Amino acid sequence: MKFGILINEGPFTHQASDSAYHFTKAALEKGHEVPRVFFYYDGVNNANKFSAPQADDRNLVKLWGEMASQHNVDLVVCVAAGMRRGITEDSLAEGFRISGLGQLVEAGIGCDRLMMFGD
């Protein structure tokens, strides 16, 4: 099965980012495809290379980037939502890219399921 993932919440204020990461990881481990993860609203904060969680806390920004490189997952940050929150090309973590809502539509059309995490 092919899953598209939509994340609407940031990595430190809501469980949605953790749930999305663990769902995506489990799906890939079971042999499913996850061609794209789209970060929207506060979810764009998952791509901020300047976030610095404590040493004993999980680092979702790093974990998403590692997953992208290991499994060829396209991590797309919404340009409009990113700009509103100060996420630009200069602040993007490795593995992420900025694009528009068309990438979300494409994921919805091209996948069997589009899973949404967060409000």
Per-residue pLDDT of the chain (119 residues; tens, 9 = 90+): 999 999 999 998 889 999 999 999 999 999 999 999 999 999 999 999 998 878 777 889 999 999 999 999 999 999 999 999 999 999 999 999 999 999 999 999 999 999 999 98
Rounded-to-integer distance, Cα 46 and Cα 11, Å = 6
Q: DSSP letter for 9, please.
A: S
Q: DSSP letter for 78, please.
A: E
User: Is the whole-model pTM more than 0.85?
Assistant: yes
CATH of the domain at 56: 3.40.1260.10
Q: Quote helix, strand, coil % in the chain, to nearest 5.
A: 45, 25, 35
The domain total for the chain is 1
What domain range is 43 assigned to? Answer: 2-30+37-117
Catalytic residue among 16, 60, 68, 78: 78
Rounded-to-integer distance, Cα 11 and Cα 74, Å = 18
Is 78 catalytic? The answer is: yes
Rounded-to-integer distance, Cα 6 and Cα 118, Å = 8
Rounded-to-integer distance, Cα 43 and Cα 118, Å = 9
